[in-house]
Amino acid sequence: MSKTLEDILPPLTDGHTGGPYPSIKVRTSYGYKPTPVTVEMKNESAEKVLNEVARQAGMYARVSMSMVTIWPTKENWEKAKAEKERAAAASEGNDAGAAGGAPSSPPAGTSPEQARADAFSAKMRAESIEGGKKVSAETKEMLKTTIIPHVSFKEASIDDVAASLGKTINELLPKPKDDSPDTFNSFAIHVRKSSVNKPNPVTLEMKDAYAGSVLNEVAKQAGMQVQMTLRGVTYWPKQTEEKKTEEKKADAAVEGVASAGGSASVGAAGGTGGGTASSEGQDVSGSFLVAMKGVLDPFFTWICAATLRASVIGGVIIALQLLLGRIIPARWRYALWAPMVLVLVMPVLPEVPFGLFPAKPAVVSSEVVATPAVATEVPVVPATAPVAAVVG
C-alpha cells in the first residue's frame, strides 16, 4: 500500500519526543515533494525501517542529537532548487512587465545569473527568518496557554520527567493546519548533563497548570535551569561556584590520558558506524614531559645563575687588574681568577653557603584545567505565575 512520508513516520515516533525517545523531522527544502512510499517489513530494526522509508521517498536519514532528520538527497535537492529558481525568475519577469518597466539592472560586474541567484538567496533568507520568528512566537504562546490537567512524579529522574512531559504536551497540542515545516506541530524536551552535575530527583504533583509553570517547577526541583529553543526547551546544569570547582578538579584528574570514542549515524545507504574505546594505547607522553621538566629546570637554572655570577665577578677581577696592576705583584694577579673556579664549581655542590648561589628550586607540576562551557542563566518564575520564565 502506497503512503506518504507523513503517514508513515508518526507511528514510528510513538508520540515520544525528548528524553531517550528520538523525534523524527522531515525537511523538504525548496518545496521538494517526497515520493510516495510502499513498504512492508517485519521484525526489522528502526534503523533499517528509517533508511528504507527515506530511500523510497528520494531522501536520506541523518541523526542529530536526540532526533532523526530526513532530508532530500543531493540530486533531488538540486532539482528542486533549480525549479524554484526558474519559477522565481519567471515571477520577477512577470512582475516587471506588469509594472510597465524593465527589471532593475544589476550592479556593475555582476552577471544576470548571479543577480538572480543573489535575489533568490535573499528571498529564501527572509522567508527562513520569518518562519523562525513564527515558530518561536507559537512556542511562547503555547507555553502561556496550554494547560496540563494533571501531572504527578515521585522521585523521578529528569530523563523520565522530560520524556513524560514531552509526550503529554504533544498530545495536548492542536493538529497542524498544514504540513509546512515552519508550522509548530511538535514540542521536544532535551536534557544536558555535565561530568559532575547530578540532577536531583523530581517529586511533583500539579493540576490545571500552565505548561511553562510546570517546566519551571521541574527545573527548580532538579536543580537545573531551563532555556527555550526553537521547538522546545532544554534543561541545563546550573553552574555554581562549587560545581565549577569540582568540574575543574575532575578535568585535571584525567589530564594526560587519551581515550577514543565512537559515534553512530544513519546514512542514505543504511547502517550505523561506531567507534571502540581501547585502553591499550594509554598516552603517557604528558607524564614523561612533566618528569623531564622537573629534572631539567633546576639544571638550567643553576647554569644560568653561575654564568651570570661568573660574568659579574670576572668583570670585577678585570677592573681590579687594570686599576691595581702596578700595585699588586705579577705573581698574585693570576690568583684573582680563583673565584672564577669557585663560581663554576659551587652549583654542583649539594648545598650553597651564605646564600650567594641559588638553592635547588622545588619542582612544581603545572596543571592545565579545562573550563567547562556554562549555559546562560534563565530567571525562574514561581509555579503559580501564569507566564513561565522560559517564554521570556
Distance CA 48, CA 51 (A): 5
* Nearest alpha-carbon partner for 179 in 11, 59, 10: 10
- What local confidence, expressed as pLDDT, does residue 377 receive? 41
Q: What is the CATH number of the domain that holds 226?
A: 3.55.50.30
- What proportions of the chain, in percent to the nearest 5, are helix, strand and coil? 50, 15, 40
Note whether 15 and 64 are same-domain residues: yes
Domain enclosing residue 219, as ranges: 144-252+374-391
- What local confidence, expressed as pLDDT, does residue 86 receive? 78
Q: How far is CA 171 from CA 14, 19, 43, 156, in A?
A: 11, 16, 28, 21
- What local confidence, expressed as pLDDT, does residue 290 receive? 53
Considering the domain boundaries, does residue 111 fall inside one? no
Last residue of a domain, one of 67, 100, 133: 100
Check if the beta carbon of residue 221 is closer than 8 Å to that of residue 384. no
- Give the bridge partners for 224, in sequence order: 237
Q: Which residues contact 28 (CB under 8 A, 6 or more apart)?
A: 34, 72, 181
Note whether 385 and 343 are same-domain residues: no
- Give the bridge partners for 26, in sequence order: 70
Cell numbers at 91, concatenated: 515571477
Last residue of a domain, one of 72, 100, 128: 100
Note whether 55 and 91 are same-domain residues: yes
Q: Count CB neighbours of 59 within 10 A.
A: 25
- What local confidence, expressed as pLDDT, does residue 88 receive? 73
Note whether 247 and 310 are same-domain residues: no
Note whether 40 and 187 are same-domain residues: no
> For residue 232, what is the enclosing H or E element?
strand 232-237
Distance CA 318, CA 195 (A): 65
Note whether 384 and 336 are same-domain residues: no
Note whether 57 and 152 are same-domain residues: no
Exposure class string for 268-304: b at 16+ Cβ within 10 A, else e:
eeeeeeeeeeeeeeeeeeeeeeeeeeeeeebeeebee
Considering the domain boundaries, does residue 327 fall inside one? yes
Looking at residue 19, its amino acid is G
pTM over 0.75: no
Note whether 154 and 24 are same-domain residues: no
Give the angle subtended at the CA of 343 by the CAs of 302 and 307, to the nearest 5°: 50
CA 15 to chain CA centroid, Å, is: 27
Note whether 238 and 380 are same-domain residues: yes
Note whether 378 and 242 are same-domain residues: yes
Mean per-residue pLDDT pooled into runs of 10, the chain (392 residues): 52 43 68 81 82 85 73 80 77 54 52 72 73 73 85 90 88 67 67 79 90 89 83 79 59 45 37 38 45 65 73 74 67 66 56 45 41 41 39 38
* Nearest alpha-carbon partner for 239 in 33, 120, 378: 378
Considering the domain boundaries, does residue 114 fall inside one? no
- Give the bridge partners for 176, in sequence order: none
3-state secondary structure of 140: helix
Distance CA 211, CA 41 (A): 38
Note whether 351 and 379 are same-domain residues: no
In angstroms, the first-to-last Cα distance of the chain is 46
- What local confidence, expressed as pLDDT, does residue 68 receive? 77
Check if the beta carbon of residue 236 is closer than 8 Å to that of residue 261. no
State the total domains in the chain: 3
Considering the domain boundaries, does residue 336 fall inside one? yes
Considering the domain boundaries, does residue 125 fall inside one? no
Cell numbers at 74, concatenated: 543531493
Considering the domain boundaries, does residue 76 fall inside one? yes
Q: How far is CA 99 from CA 87, 94, 102, 268, in A?
A: 18, 9, 8, 47
3-state secondary structure of 63: strand
Distance CA 211, CA 164 (A): 13
Considering the domain boundaries, does residue 112 fall inside one? no
- Give the bridge partners for 277, in sequence order: none
Note whether 296 and 223 are same-domain residues: no
Considering the domain boundaries, does residue 89 fall inside one? yes
Check if the beta carbon of residue 24 is closer than 8 Å to that of residue 70. yes
Distance CA 317, CA 327 (A): 14
